[in-house]
Structure formats: C-alpha cells, structure tokens
C-alpha cells in the first residue's frame, strides 16, 4: 500500500487525519502542499479519483480565491487547476491518496474508505 497525504501541519483536520493514518499502522508519504504544491497533472489525477471538479476542491473563503477571481464561472477546468498549483492555499485539505483512490479528510474518518 502506497499512501500519500497532502498535508498542512497548521490545520487541525490535517493533523487529525495524519494521526488516524498512523493509528492504522500506516506511515504515509507526507507532502506539505503549501511548500511543494502538486503539479497540474497530479491535481487532475486527484480530481478524477475524487470524481470532483476543481471548484469542488477549492477553499472559497480563502483570500487568494477572491483576489484572483477564481469564482469566475468562465474559467475552464484547466485554468482552475492551474490556479490551484499557483495558489495552493485554495486547495481543500487534507487529501489522502492510496494507489488509485483518493479521499478528502473532512472529516478525517473519510480516508478509512480508501485504505
């Protein structure tokens, strides 16, 4: 099993999800996505695994979302994914990937479905 968590150590849900994985005996690869954002191809793949569109994985209350006009309904999927790579703070967290499955750890127990 190859488990990766896109993690923000300042986020309580992200910390809880990481602890939940460890409590399951899993030592995931931890990617602090604010320091090392996923590239467009990776994000596209994650969105496909989640069966979500980019806007469904965006934190709409973040300043960057508003400042960069990401609510604009004319933006394409590709433009939104690109914006997520440029402004990773807008990416919902945490995201856990296990092989070809992904889950958002809100609540943390959501990730149990893909383990």
pLDDT (0 to 100) of residue 79? 98
Annotated catalytic residue within 2, 10, 11, 44: 11
Q: How far is CA 24 from CA 29, 39, 78, 82, 100, in A?
A: 14, 29, 36, 34, 19
Cα–Cα distance measured from residue 99 to residue 89, given in angstroms and rounded to the nearest whole number: 24
Catalytic-residue membership of 11: yes
- How many residues make up the chain in this entry? 115
Task: Per residue of the chain (115 residues), give pLDDT as tens.
Answer: 799 999 999 999 999 999 999 999 999 999 999 999 999 999 999 999 999 999 999 999 999 999 999 999 999 999 999 999 999 999 999 999 999 999 999 999 999 999 9
pLDDT (0 to 100) of residue 65? 97
Q: Which of 38, 37, 4 is nearest to 21 (CA)?
A: 4
Cα–Cα distance measured from residue 98 to residue 1, given in angstroms and rounded to the nearest whole number: 7
Cα–Cα distance measured from residue 105 to residue 65, given in angstroms and rounded to the nearest whole number: 21
């Amino acid at each position: 099993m190859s488990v990766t968590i896109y993690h923000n150590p300042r986020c309580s849900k992200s910390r809880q999800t990481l602890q939940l994985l460890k409590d399951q005996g899993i030592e995931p690869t931890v990617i602090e996505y604010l320091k090392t954002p996923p590239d467009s191809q990776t994000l596209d793949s994650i969105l496909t695994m989640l069966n979500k569109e980019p806007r469904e994985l965006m934190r709409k209350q973040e300043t960057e979302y508003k400042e960069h006009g990401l609510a604009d309904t004319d933006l394409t999927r590709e433009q939104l994914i690109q914006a997520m790579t440029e402004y990773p703070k807008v990416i919902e967290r945490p995201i856990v990937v296990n092989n070809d499955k992904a889950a958002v750890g809100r609540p943390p127990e959501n990730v149990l479905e893909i383990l």
